[in-house]
Amino acid sequence: MTSIKRRKMLAAAATAAAAAVLTNFDPSQAATPRLKRKGRLKQSVSRWPYARIPLADFCKAGAAMGLKAIDLLQPGDWETVREHGLVCSMGYPADRRDFLSNGFNNRASHAMLLSELERTIPLAARHGVPNVIAMFGNRQGRSDAEGIAASSEGLKRIAPLAEEHKVTICLELLNSKVDHHDYHGDHTAFGVEVIRNVGSPRVKLLYDIYHMQIMEGDVIRTIRDNIAHIAHFHTGGVPGRHELDETQELNWRAVAKAIVDTGFKGFFAHEFVPTRDPLTSLRQAVTICDV
């Protein structure tokens, strides 16, 4: 499955216990009564950590716990989530093994990347998908200046199409310390400089809190200072990318409140690997972040 391939380096974080609870998913959990939420933060969830749960059942369970969307889906799944009253909050433009490592910092890949987005952006607009994901790619010896210049150049070429169709291209920030060694977009400042250079309301950052906590810390102040350049968030507990609970470094309720208080209107998508019953862990995260 593509979403798992995309995160193959994170798959090792899914312990045997996590695999067991996913395998033993009880479909009756998808039929629990809908919970009332404050709804100030539009919460979503990434599909890949829950891939063993059938998508239809996962959508029912997500809707019942107050989620608004499912994140990181291929086009073939976009209508399934709509049938369950949700949206795909972030779509893939391609099914490639090198999706994370081969990105916009590599001018030689621009033709391929632009072709993928030219095909996907109009499709996303027709299906009501607000965002598509893109990557900066691995350094492979490039300096930050070279990576910023190449990324800016390529993204400027696709920005007009994104603006025409009102679909936002989200460049993801990843850590290069633990999970994605050599990834170029591993600091907020790098991503922000690219976004400023492109100067489009439809080219923004996907700020992954898990990754940036590992690389930088100081996430609340960083988010407040750069919210104008951020269109989407991912969560994940540090250490281990597991549940958003007392075992983790961050006060997730404070992070969620800080984001809401900026006036952010995009999606806040959970992307952690559960080590306990998956839907119980997800429901707990949604409750913590419902501010």
pTM for this entry: 0.90
92 neighbors 47 (Cβ within 8 angstroms)? no
User: From CA 194, how far away is CA 155, in angstroms rounded?
Assistant: 9
Please enumerate in sequence order all residues whose Cβ is within 8 A of that of 19, keeping only pairs 6 or more positions apart, or say none. Answer: 52
pLDDT in tens, 262-274: 999 999 999 999 9
pLDDT at residue 36, as a whole number: 78
Structure tokens at 144: 């930050």
What value does the mean pLDDT of the chain take?
92
pLDDT in tens, 99-123: 999 999 999 999 999 999 999 999 9
269 neighbors 43 (Cβ within 8 angstroms)? yes
Please report the domains of the chain, with CATH numbers, ordered by start residue.
2-288 (3.20.20.150)
